[in-house]
Structure 1
Amino acid sequence: MEVAAGDRLLSINGMPVADVMDYRYLTADETLVVEIEKPDGEVWELDIEKDYEEDLGIEFPEQMLETKTCKNNCIFCFIDQLPKGMRESLYVKDDDERLSFLTGNYITMTNLTEEELNRIIRYRIMPMNLSIHTTNPELRCRMLNNRFAGDVISYLKKFRDHHIQMNGQIVLVPDYNDGDELRKTLADLKAFYPVLQSVSVVPVGLSRHRQGLAEIRAFNQTEALKTLAIINTVHQEMTEKYGDGFVYPSDEFFLLADVPIPDVSYYNGFPQIENGVGMMADFKASLETASENYKNHNDHDHAVSDNHRIGLITGRAAHAFMTSLMDDLKKVMPDLDVIIYPIKNDYFGEKITVSGLITGRDIIEQVKPVLQENPRDLLLIPENALRQDTELLLDDWTLELLSEHLSVKIVGVPVDGTSLIETIRT
């Protein structure tokens, strides 16, 4: 007889296995004692020797993979602002500490049980990515619409005291947790450095589908400038004291304030680049390096490949930034023929200006008329607009389907200068 589907995994090295997180950590040893219960109740004890990173090959039923959902009703939740009719998975409000470690998701800690908290500490599951928003207990309860949400500091203390590395996020909402409240929050969070490695500050995203939700407005330019001043005061203080800026505004704040994006030295290794913090600075630096490499290795041939009239799809917020970069690129690729398409987000509303929320429907409606006047051989779309590891946009349009409707090849490109130049030259 062998281990088979329907068998129950009881324990590994004497520790019970509640879910995939237990399994991942308990199987990290090279020598295992695995307890299996067969459907007839017979219990097997298996002695297994394996390489450290080798998996046992066990597959789990869906209930062991089920995502823990959020118990809050946050005033800024973007999922509540989604239109009806999108794919079901987009409406899942995860608040799962396992996904915080496995995929980088942020959790509010409001549904962490004492047992789960202790498991994080026991297995040293880190870094934990935490949605903090404010350290004012009353305000946090109000913003999360959860009367149990106020005690965020005790979680931070417990993680700090057990050296569980953390990253924090603040979704900033005008008239709620900005201004003096932001100053207080950042002052409180500094005390948790360096176990709290970094804090990002991102402006609230507002779609046009907010019917029945709390009245929230967007930041204006003046408020964005004031917010940057608050953040950069702490950033400079921490840089002078520790050589680490600690708190970082998202790229959107620089665009809202209409001030230049900082260079890469500002971001100290980009601790939260996947959260939209420093992505533009990193792309600019990588494109400058790739352009210089191209120039140095192509002194006698700067021509772009034949039949490559390029179109770049981006969000409206990055239009001026991308235009400037393409102007610089043309200096080393003088034959480059590129048009930038800043997509107005009619699907979610024009207040959404980032490339990560572009939809296929808006691309079709806005790019097709321009293509008829000025055809392109290739359209490029940043990979952050696509579902991870797929060619699927938020409204379920695929790049293949877009290509058919626009009669032009469309490819997703990593937000990286080398990838962009290589794609242009292919």
Structure 2
Amino acid sequence: MEVNVKNVNNVISKVYKDSIAQELGIEIGDLLISINGQAIHDIIEYRFLLSDEYLEVEIKKINGEIYIYEIEKEYDDDLGIEFTNPIIDQAKSCRNKCVFCFIDQLPQGMRETLYFKDDDSRLSFLQGNFVTLTNMSEDDINNIIKYRISPINISVHTTNPELRQKMIKNKFAGKLYSIMERLAEAKIQMNCQIVLCPGYNDKEELTRTIKDLETLYPYVNSAAIVPVGTTKHRSHLPNLDIFNEKTANETINQVHELHKVYLEKIGTRFAFLSDEFYIIANRKLLEYDEYEGFIQFENGVGMISKLEREIQEHLKTLSKEKYSTKKKVSIATGHSAFEFIKNMGQEIMNVCEDVEINVYKIVNNFFGDTITVSGLITATDIIDQLKDKDLGETLYIPRSMLKADEEIFLDNITLEEIQKKMEIEVVPCLNEGCDFVDKILK
């Protein structure tokens, strides 16, 4: 039987053990043609069709033979397969030229995938990516509603149509709020992000944006506000100011006033500033409970408060006898988190007196010293700045310095390579208190 299959992105790359697919004999390399007679164009269609309790799944085997598997299952049962292309279709690239775009500020010679700008609502749903909604057709919007693609993470920046067009440099950028109103009407959940740029979307414009987003609550669940970051590689781009202690403090005061209003009005602070603002302002972060479950954690909102609580709670459970081995270790971190990590290292040493922890602040020479977060530190800077230090038996780094699914730094140096060059074990730690403490104490 000959079948013309155009979408070779439907090739199966993984079959889970004890899954429906494995039971049926579906294998890696097989091609998914259709479900219930409907061709699969992307992962959203696949997930939607998969929700039926009766399926006829058409598969083309590696040898070219076609099989149709009849499957009866529970509503929420998965087939247990993954595809060579996670979204099946080609990812939509970004057509914007944002004044603050970080990718436009990257130097040459980094991992090739870092230079691809995605702006695909399917990746927002699957992987948590933030999208601007500027390249969406009417069909795309209708599909979000039809297939219940929720939640969607949206890069808002401003709800002022003219200002958004100016910042994003896309003639469709001003349509954002009307699209969001349609999604809210369809009860699609949205998380929002605002990259705050002094002189553009701060002050009165920030208040306007937050107020506009709050009118769509609860479908706009929250808004995260992060400060713009600039590298030393933007000489070909427009001038852009960054936040200093004074302007960061002004922004914190502004947002905290809105917190009072929204706590009384809707029972939530709604808009949250990333930890960077408080660090720049030399100011105390919100308390643990004030982050309301850390709904914008991935945007760097409340990371320090959460990790501090987890470390302190975990240290209370430790037995001194269990961790009595004498050892000396080091931690490498960025400028933003340095004081916090140094304090946490001291708390660990107070509990485990036989452990010596040295914390080193890595200056970001690769991107420029205005970039202070740990997740943008390269192996090159770690090697250059720590090669002559007595690091002890192990060097610990935040896992965020590495690619999400691979042990490789932004400058294309692998974890194995940095260990060979530095002649020391380098251990990544998750942003979780238990993992951080247990790996250091082993």
Q: TM-score, normalised by structure 1?
A: 0.91
Instruction: Tell me whether 1:421 sits opposite 2:441 in the alignment.
Output: no
Q: 1:20 aligns with which of 18, 23, 43?
A: 43
Which residue does 1:199 correspond to in 2? 223
Q: Between 46-55 and 403-412, report the one with greater CA deviation.
A: 46-55
1:82 is displaced (CA, Å) by 0.4
Judge conservation of contact 2:87–2:123 (CA < 8 Å) in 1: no
1:154 is displaced (CA, Å) by 0.5
CA distance in structure 1 between the partners assigned to 2:434 and 2:269 by the alignment: 27
1:275 is displaced (CA, Å) by 1.5
1:36 is displaced (CA, Å) by 6.7
> The residue matched to 2:286 in structure 1 has which SS?
coil
- Per-residue CA deviation, residues 394-426 of structure 1 (Å, 9 max, x unaligned), is 112222211111111110011122112211222
Judge conservation of contact 1:310–1:424 (CA < 8 Å) in 2: yes
Q: 1:228 aligns with which of 252, 256, 279?
A: 252
> The residue matched to 2:325 in structure 1 has which SS?
coil
Judge conservation of contact 2:310–2:432 (CA < 8 Å) in 1: yes
Instruction: Tell me whether 1:332 sits opposite 2:332 in the alignment.
Output: no
Q: CA separation of 1:273/1:63 partners in 2, compared to 1, >3 Å: closer, same or farther?
A: closer
Which residue does 1:369 correspond to in 2? 388
CA distance in structure 2 between the partners assigned to 1:59 and 1:333 by the alignment: 47
Which residue does 2:102 correspond to in 1? 78
- Per-residue CA deviation, residues 161-215 of structure 1 (Å, 9 max, x unaligned), is 0100000000000100001110111111110111100100000110110021111
Give 2:114's aligned amino acid. L
Please list every run of 5 or more consecutive structure 1 residues that lacks an aligned counterpart in the other structure.
none
> The residue matched to 2:389 in structure 1 has which SS?
helix
Which residue does 1:166 correspond to in 2? 190
Instruction: Tell me whether 1:153 sits opposite 2:153 in the alignment.
Output: no
Q: Between 13-22 and 99-108, report the one with greater CA deviation.
A: 13-22
Judge conservation of contact 1:134–1:182 (CA < 8 Å) in 2: yes
CA distance in structure 2 between the partners assigned to 1:331 and 1:126 by the alignment: 45
Q: 1:183 aligns with which of 207, 222, 246?
A: 207
> The residue matched to 1:200 in structure 2 has which SS?
strand
CA distance in structure 2 between the partners assigned to 1:166 and 1:236 by the alignment: 23
Instruction: Tell me whether 1:31 sits opposite 2:54 in the alignment.
Output: yes
Q: Between 100-109 and 410-419, report the one with greater CA deviation.
A: 410-419
Give 2:266's aligned amino acid. Y
Which residue does 2:428 correspond to in 1? 412
> The residue matched to 1:410 in structure 2 has which SS?
strand
CA distance in structure 1 between the partners assigned to 2:298 and 2:361 by the alignment: 22
Judge conservation of contact 1:20–1:64 (CA < 8 Å) in 2: yes
Q: CA separation of 1:59/1:99 partners in 2, compared to 1, >3 Å: closer, same or farther?
A: closer
Which residue does 1:211 correspond to in 2? 235
Which residue does 1:401 correspond to in 2? 417
Q: CA separation of 1:38/1:335 partners in 2, compared to 1, >3 Å: closer, same or farther?
A: closer
Instruction: Tell me whether 1:261 sits opposite 2:311 in the alignment.
Output: no
RMSD: 2.5
Judge conservation of contact 1:302–1:335 (CA < 8 Å) in 2: no
Question: What are the within-5 Å matches in structure 2 for residues 292-311 of structure 1?
Answer: 292-294=316-318, 297-298=319-320, 301=321, 304-306=324-326, 308-311=327-330
> The residue matched to 2:364 in structure 1 has which SS?
coil
Q: CA separation of 1:207/1:304 partners in 2, compared to 1, >3 Å: closer, same or farther?
A: farther
CA distance in structure 2 between the partners assigned to 1:62 and 1:240 by the alignment: 43
- Per-residue CA deviation, residues 204-244 of structure 1 (Å, 9 max, x unaligned), is 11011002111101111110011111211222322233332
1:158 is displaced (CA, Å) by 0.7
Which residue does 2:362 correspond to in 1? 343
Give 1:336's aligned amino acid. V
Q: 1:135 aligns with which of 159, 167, 174?
A: 159
Give 2:216's aligned amino acid. F
Q: 1:91 aligns with which of 82, 94, 115?
A: 115
Which residue does 2:70 correspond to in 1? 47
Instruction: Tell me whether 1:281 sits opposite 2:305 in the alignment.
Output: yes
**Percent identical:** 40
Judge conservation of contact 1:302–1:334 (CA < 8 Å) in 2: no
1:334 is displaced (CA, Å) by 2.3
Give 1:384's aligned amino acid. S
1:368 is displaced (CA, Å) by 1.0
- Per-residue CA deviation, residues 352-397 of structure 1 (Å, 9 max, x unaligned), is 00000010000000011223xxx41111001111111322111122
CA distance in structure 2 between the partners assigned to 1:163 and 1:130 by the alignment: 15
CA distance in structure 2 between the partners assigned to 1:210 and 1:262 by the alignment: 33
- Per-residue CA deviation, residues 52-90 of structure 1 (Å, 9 max, x unaligned), is 423264746799342110011101000000001112100
1:25 is displaced (CA, Å) by 2.1
CA distance in structure 2 between the partners assigned to 1:223 and 1:414 by the alignment: 32
CA distance in structure 2 between the partners assigned to 1:243 and 1:405 by the alignment: 53
Q: Between 53-62 and 233-242, report the one with greater CA deviation.
A: 53-62
1:43 is displaced (CA, Å) by 9.2
Q: 1:252 aligns with which of 273, 276, 296?
A: 276
CA distance in structure 2 between the partners assigned to 1:109 and 1:170 by the alignment: 14
Give 1:305's aligned amino acid. T
Which residue does 1:392 correspond to in 2? 408
Judge conservation of contact 1:391–1:412 (CA < 8 Å) in 2: no
- Per-residue CA deviation, residues 122-150 of structure 1 (Å, 9 max, x unaligned), is 11111100000001100000000112111
CA distance in structure 2 between the partners assigned to 1:325 and 1:62 by the alignment: 38
Q: 1:314 aligns with which of 328, 333, 341?
A: 333
Work out the number of aligned pairs and report it: 416
Q: 1:123 aligns with which of 147, 156, 173?
A: 147
Judge conservation of contact 2:87–2:122 (CA < 8 Å) in 1: no
CA distance in structure 1 between the partners assigned to 2:145 and 2:341 by the alignment: 44
> The residue matched to 1:351 in structure 2 has which SS?
coil
Q: CA separation of 1:396/1:234 partners in 2, compared to 1, >3 Å: closer, same or farther?
A: same
Please list every run of 5 or more consecutive structure 2 residues that lacks an aligned counterpart in the other structure.
2-24
CA distance in structure 1 between the partners assigned to 2:155 and 2:81 by the alignment: 34
